[in-house]
Amino acid sequence: MAQGLVNSSIVTTTTGLPIHVEIVNIALMYWPLIMAGYPRLGPAFDSATEEIAATFPSLNVTQVYLKDSSTEGTFDDWLTYYNPEKTLAEYFFAAEKSGRTPPNITIFLMTGVVAENSLPTAQVSAELDTLLMTIVLCPVAEGIWPTWRTVTVLPIMTISRFYQVMLERFHWSHFTLIWDTTANNFFTMFADAAHNYLAKNSKSQMMYLNFNSQIYSAADYAHVMLKISEYSRVILYAGHSEPLQALMTAAAKLNMTNGEYVFIASLPFRHALFGTFQWKSPNQSSDNPFKCLLVIEPTPVPATEELTEMEHHWKQMSKEKYNLTYGQDEKLNPYTASAYNGMMVLAQVAEELRQSGSNLTNFSGRKVAAAFNNRTFHLKTGKLTFNADGEKIPDMSLTQTDPISGEIKGVMELEASTGLLVTTGTLKWPAEWPVPNEPYCGYRGDSIRCQIIVNSSAKYGVALGSTSALVIVCGMLFFSLRSRAVFHCLRTDYESWWRLELEYYRPKKTVICYRSYADIRFT
């Protein structure tokens, strides 16, 4: 991770004087992350240092290394003795005691992706009222760490807001948030953050589920999908692609992939680390359950010539200086660009403070952090937008994979600058879109609208049945009396057939029988 501490307590700087920027590489403090992270991030740090020197000549950049003694032992030793806040504080105050002229700005460069690793550093930063910048998630939106800013590639809060906007836009009153407990740290952090955010900000009803994909069988997946089908038609998923395939296969057997249910997965970026959320079914596209899957992910940065050259340069530096060789078609890890971004935006803010003519001692860490709020930085790697809370807000897209070609197409985008959900492409959906909020008669067939219809039908049925019975009785009586009037039409005292007399029903009367009803004439 790339972190920056702005030393706000020492050295007066005027417009005409350069600012000393000291880069303190403390990657060695995070023992388990050294080999995995730094060979990929080192080239970005190095190129940013060179570019800062060329672009901002008034920023004097130097570099030192800070090492935590607990990293010399085993991994268990590191877990036992790991104390970064102590190491950071000792370094910070040792610089003052040494008598040397301290730097105006200190930037801490650290590898890693887990937010918890930065919490001790954040605590020290807050107590010293200095600016901390990382490339991991930070809870700045909640005001917990007012001096912490991030250029994270993990857009956890942005995806959570994307969910909320979709729930409101399409009037979905019920949804299920389900996550795999065996997934990597991103999905663990995301599921917890999304649950808390939606529970607080969304008016929709949520069912929060988790499962262990390492022990789940096909029957288990079928059971959980049946449970979901009785609660909502909107399924938000956090986890790797393989368990999602198992869930959606079970859903297909329950007829939940015909377009009446929508599955929405989320990715911090497309990488083998999270699996392949891109399935092709050229021979059975009509039966492909993944046609009902949408994915929320960062909007791709346009591949400009300048960016392409920079990425090639980083790969070459990784090979020559850090002994890391990328595969032929292997893409750069997004953390590389984030490390570069963190240093460049910090340098730009430092230059603005220098040009303002103000004394840097007048800028506390909180004030320096505020310089990132409500603005967009334009870099070689693209734009970086921070909201009013100082949180990085990337443009996020809702994508769909064509089941035949496998092509990923964007259909909607949540704009960072406006927060609006805009249509960017055509959504190919196998049924009505948006999916209905719930079945017409409810998930269990007990919706009030269907109860009213049933009750009304019963009421009208009784009335109609009674009327029909009365008509039948009257008809039978009519036919009976009409027939008797015909049978006795030879009476000398014949009267109209509808005037009934009891004697007609007496056995003593002579009845003339006809061979058939065709011989009867109604006159």
User: Is the domain of 287 the same as that of 401?
Assistant: yes
Q: Assign 3-class secondary structure to 284-299.
A: CHHHCHHHHEEEEEEC
Structure tokens at 321: 């200086």
User: Is the domain of 14 the same as that of 86?
Assistant: yes
Residues 6+ apart with CB under 8 A from 77: 70
What are the φ/ψ torsions at residue 216 (nearest 5 degrees)? -75, 140
Q: What pTM was estimated for this model as a whole?
A: 0.74
User: Is the domain of 224 the same as that of 293?
Assistant: yes
The answer as to whether 208 is a domain residue is: yes
Q: Flag whether pLDDT at 225 surpasses 90.
A: yes
Alpha-carbon gap, residue 285 to 402, rounded angstroms: 9
User: Is the domain of 193 the same as that of 315?
Assistant: no
The answer as to whether 246 is a domain residue is: yes
Say what the pLDDT of residue 452 is: 56
Alpha-carbon gap, residue 150 to 354, rounded angstroms: 22
Alpha-carbon gap, residue 144 to 471, rounded angstroms: 79
315-333 pLDDT, tens per residue? 999 999 988 898 888 888 7
Of the pLDDT bands very low, low, confident and very high (cuts 50, 70, 90), residue 516 is: very low
24-53 pLDDT, tens per residue? 666 555 555 555 567 788 898 889 989 998
What value does the mean pLDDT of the chain take? 76
Alpha-carbon gap, residue 152 to 146, rounded angstroms: 16
Whose tokens are 């092509």? That residue is 407
The answer as to whether 97 is a domain residue is: yes
CA atoms within 13 A on the CB side of 26: 28
353-377 pLDDT, tens per residue? 888 766 555 557 787 888 888 999 9
User: Is the domain of 10 the same as that of 144?
Assistant: yes
Say what the pLDDT of residue 458 is: 52
Alpha-carbon gap, residue 105 to 494, rounded angstroms: 126
What's the domain count of the chain? 3
67-103 pLDDT, tens per residue? 665 555 665 666 666 666 777 777 777 766 777 777 7
Map residue 103 onto helix, strand or coil: coil
User: Is the domain of 295 the same as that of 317?
Assistant: no
Say what the pLDDT of residue 281 is: 58
CB count, 10 Å around CB of 245? 18
The answer as to whether 358 is a domain residue is: yes
Q: CATH number for the domain including 278?
A: 3.40.50.2300
Structure tokens at 506: 């007496």
Domain encompassing residue 513: 452-519
Residues 6+ apart with CB under 8 A from 457: none
DSSP sequence for 226-238: HHHHTT-SEEEEE
DSSP sequence for 401-467: E-TTT--EEEEEEE-TTT--EEE-S----SS-SSPPSS-TT-TTS--HHHHHHHHHHHHHHHHHHHH
Query: Crossing angle for the helix pair 241-253 and 218-229, nearest 10 degrees?
Result: 70
User: Is the domain of 136 the same as that of 86?
Assistant: yes
State the DSSP H helix or E strand holding residue 77, giving kind and residue range, or none if neither: helix 75-81
User: Is the domain of 308 the same as that of 287?
Assistant: no
User: Is the domain of 136 the same as that of 163?
Assistant: no
Say what the pLDDT of residue 8 is: 38
The answer as to whether 46 is a domain residue is: yes
Q: Report yes or no: 55 and 49 within 8 Å, Cβ to Cβ.
A: no
Structure tokens at 371: 């310089």
Mean pLDDT of 53-61: 87
The answer as to whether 388 is a domain residue is: no
Of the pLDDT bands very low, low, confident and very high (cuts 50, 70, 90), residue 147 is: confident
User: Is the domain of 260 the same as that of 346?
Assistant: no
Residues 6+ apart with CB under 8 A from 429: 259, 292
User: Is the domain of 511 the same as that of 474?
Assistant: yes
| DSSP-assigned letter for residue 331 | P
Q: Report yes or no: 211 and 224 within 8 Å, Cβ to Cβ.
A: yes
The answer as to whether 192 is a domain residue is: yes
Say what the pLDDT of residue 513 is: 37
Map residue 239 onto helix, strand or coil: coil
The answer as to whether 385 is a domain residue is: no
User: Is the domain of 40 the same as that of 97?
Assistant: yes
